[in-house]
Structure 1
Amino acid sequence: MPSATAPPDVGRTGHVLDREGIVALVRELRARGRTVIGPTLRDGAIVLAELDSADALPYGWGVELEAGRYRVRRRDDSAAFAHSAGPQSWKNFLHPERVRQWTADRGPDGEMTVRPERREPASFAFLGVRPCDLRAIQIQDRVMIGDRHRDETYRERRTGAFIVVVECTEPGATCFCVSMGTGPAAQPGYDLALTEVVDEAGHRFLARAGTTEGEEVLARLPRRPADEATCTRARESVADAAGRMGRTMPAVNLQTLMAGTLEAERWDDVAARCLTCGNCTMACPTCFCTTTEDVTDLTGDHAERWRRWESCYDLDFTHLPGGSVRSSSRSRYRQWLTHKLGTWHDQFDSSGCVGCGRCVVWCPVGIDITEEAHALHREALDRRPGGRNRAT
């Protein structure tokens, strides 16, 4: 079971920024030619979008989360980052939902000209990345650019992206990052890390750099040396968040659990509830599957090929000449869960789950990945010789 404690440097080193420091941070990143992406309130949700200034951050807004339920709510303070994972993840910008790959045109002479899509170089700065989402980015790095088969769109967008992590001090009811070892404290991989503190002494951010560029950016911001009171409050807030997770995974080897329960009766239970809509894969910050889609105009003289996200819940995802390999909702849900928690280790040397809870929130029928893992664990225990009475 991963430790719930924060790294030893959390809340002990760094500088303090006030709200003007965050304004200056966005201004500095934009001045460096970066497109700054961060959270903002829009259409009844806290979403990720381009920020022209720090004024667009969702100051004073939080969220209420539960299985199949998401609501924004007014807070009684001015915190900008005291909200849990929203409907999007940073995958939306690094691994976009739809990407045009090429266009083809037939000229008057009947000759076809195919033009690969030209992509403008991206220079992102991600502000407000949660520690669980930082881990999700690192997992996608391994999938997309960590081996000989590389996704050029991802590589171009990911290369040089500036990451500002904000440590979690208020986990949601569906969060379980402690179980997955991904939060609430920031682990290495960021350029800057912030810990937001709002108390009787004011609204401020403990900031520390993780890279040379992070140090350069921090040096250009209005700041002051970290005081003991701010360091202590930041450290305690992160440690307190670790003890207030809304969900947990069973404290067992999940890879072994998934491999040993492929024929469990619980799969029938979840199949009776699952709509196979694929919402969980769309909201998941690590799911990466894609397909291609060709379109033409009415004349037939212009064609385009697009790559778009695909879901393993789609009946055609495993379609072969003889039909779909996974024709039942039972088999498709089992494939998703056992891959995410189990066979992902075989492919990429880690779990595919970071404990963000998005799949729980955005499931329209409230299926809970942690509840299913606990249920599979209980059934596995019951099936052992001398196991518990299954009627209890």
Structure 2
Amino acid sequence: MPASAGAAYVIQQPTELVDALLAQGWRVVGPRERNGAIVYEEIANGSELPRGRTDEQGPARYRLTDGDPDRWFDYVVGPQSWKKWLFPARQKLWSASRADDGFAVEEPEEVYPKTAFIGVRACEIAAIQVQDKVFDNGDFADTGYGMRRENTMIVAVQCARSADTCFCASMNTGPRAESGFDLALTELDGEFLLECGTAKGADVLAAVTMADAQPGHVEAASRVTAQAAESQSRKIAPGIASLLADNLEHPRWDDVADRCMSCANCTLACPTCFCTDVEDTNDLQGDNTERWRTWDSCFTLDFSYIHGGAVRRSTRSRYRQWMTHKLSSWHDQFGTSGCVGCGRCIAWCPVGIDITEEAAAIAAAPAEQEA
């Protein structure tokens, strides 16, 4: 049947959708199990999806375990985000080679084939939209990011369960994505509700066996994501942006600094963090040089280094910078929070620092403001 944007259908399993994408020349990137975690890698067929797996997450804890063998997407987010594909961790900016009359500078031609992300969660769509604001901002737009984003199709998976670390419901970023996808899957009992968000998504469905969704399918899908939201125990305190801005000298910053290792795990796992460094390399003869952009973190001492030394020398100042930027001043820069409630920073912090707990502690005992 011809599909159309805005319509909903029912399919039996996601493998046929993966096959249809591959047959139409899409590179498919999706969840795979590697080294005991869910990662996002290129997949050659639908059977590579980690069916029958679920996860256990908590502060400083992540474990994949066996789940219902008939379920395809009962795990949630792992240590990686889609940022690794849209905003690579290491990217060559230019290279130069010595010539008779100086140096010849060459900008690399990036090859990024049309790529379908399958398994994108609601919080991750929100994170991609946050990075859209960061990298596509008028005069300072990142053309490489724009090209990759333009050539990407998003196949979302609506969450049927939440991990213990999830708090997307309090950030209004999930567990259900209302927009931002080309196609969206909701796993029901033995079948999937398939929502078509765009004409690009509809084009893929010509080769997929499906039936029109009935009202009962749509209602069941709504219940699935509603139950996932209700199961979340963590949340960000309301009004946190102004609370943090008004509590820059709160004693809680000292408490968290005593525990924080400044390891940068939270920023590297975060789907929205975008700090970078620039590295110049050259050969011993001085005939060739390259400039690379690499991921960095505001938790490293050298990140704030200027002439005379680092601006943020203490762990206290670096953690405060990260958290206040993420939850407060990001609103001033980009009109949105920099946090989407995915919980990665909680699970992958080696000492289990919980951003929701830190926010709640400041909200519970804010500093008194002068009249």
Q: For residues 285 and 313 of structure 1, what CA distance do their matches in structure 2 show?
A: 16
Query: Post-superposition shift, 1:295?
Result: 1.3
The residue number in structure 2 matching 1:29 is 21
Query: Post-superposition shift, 1:204?
Result: 1.1
Query: Post-superposition shift, 1:103?
Result: 1.6
In structure 2, stretches of 5+ residues that fail to align are 1-5
Query: Post-superposition shift, 1:164?
Result: 0.7
Of 40, 45, 48, the residue aligned with 1:48 is 40
TM-score where L is the length of structure 1 = 0.89
SS class of match (1:186): coil
For the pair 1:18 / 2:12, whether they are aligned, the reply is yes
The residue number in structure 1 matching 2:83 is 91
Amino acid at match of 2:304: T
The percentage of counterpart residues that share the same residue type is 47
For the pair 1:76 / 2:68, whether they are aligned, the reply is yes
Of 349, 365, 369, the residue aligned with 2:355 is 369
Q: Contact (CA 8 Å) 1:66, 1:360: kept in 2 or not?
A: yes
Query: Post-superposition shift, 1:346?
Result: 0.3
Q: Contact (CA 8 Å) 2:20, 2:205: kept in 1 or not?
A: no
Q: Contact (CA 8 Å) 2:112, 2:151: kept in 1 or not?
A: no
Query: Post-superposition shift, 1:384?
Result: 7.5
The residue number in structure 1 matching 2:311 is 325
Q: For residues 29 and 13 of structure 1, what CA distance do their matches in structure 2 show?
A: 19
Q: Contact (CA 8 Å) 2:33, 2:50: kept in 1 or not?
A: yes
TM-score where L is the length of structure 2 = 0.94
Amino acid at match of 1:50: E
Query: Post-superposition shift, 1:228?
Result: 4.5
Q: For residues 10 and 199 of structure 2, what CA distance do their matches in structure 1 show?
A: 18
The residue number in structure 2 matching 1:254 is 240
The residue number in structure 2 matching 1:311 is 297
Of 238, 243, 261, the residue aligned with 2:230 is 243
In structure 1, stretches of 5+ residues that fail to align are 1-11, 386-392
Of 146, 155, 159, the residue aligned with 1:155 is 146
Of 119, 129, 134, the residue aligned with 2:120 is 129
SS class of match (2:294): strand
Moved more, 223-232 or 206-215: 223-232
Amino acid at match of 1:312: C
| Pairing 1:1-392 to 2, within 5 Å after superposition | 14-19=8-13, 22-107=14-99, 109=100, 111-198=102-189, 203-250=190-237, 252-380=238-366, 383=368
Q: For residues 141 and 122 of structure 1, what CA distance do their matches in structure 2 show?
A: 19
Amino acid at match of 2:117: F
Name the Cα RMSD after superposition: 1.7
Amino acid at match of 2:200: E
Amino acid at match of 2:181: Y
Q: For residues 288 and 369 of structure 2, what CA distance do their matches in structure 1 show?
A: 62
Amino acid at match of 1:103: S
Query: Post-superposition shift, 1:218?
Result: 2.5
Q: For residues 219 and 119 of structure 1, what CA distance do their matches in structure 2 show?
A: 31
Amino acid at match of 1:179: S
- Superposed structure 1 runs of 4+ greater than 6 Å apart: none
The residue number in structure 2 matching 1:3 is none
Q: Contact (CA 8 Å) 1:17, 1:207: kept in 2 or not?
A: yes
Moved more, 358-367 or 117-126: 117-126
Amino acid at match of 2:344: R
Q: For residues 369 and 301 of structure 2, what CA distance do their matches in structure 1 show?
A: 34
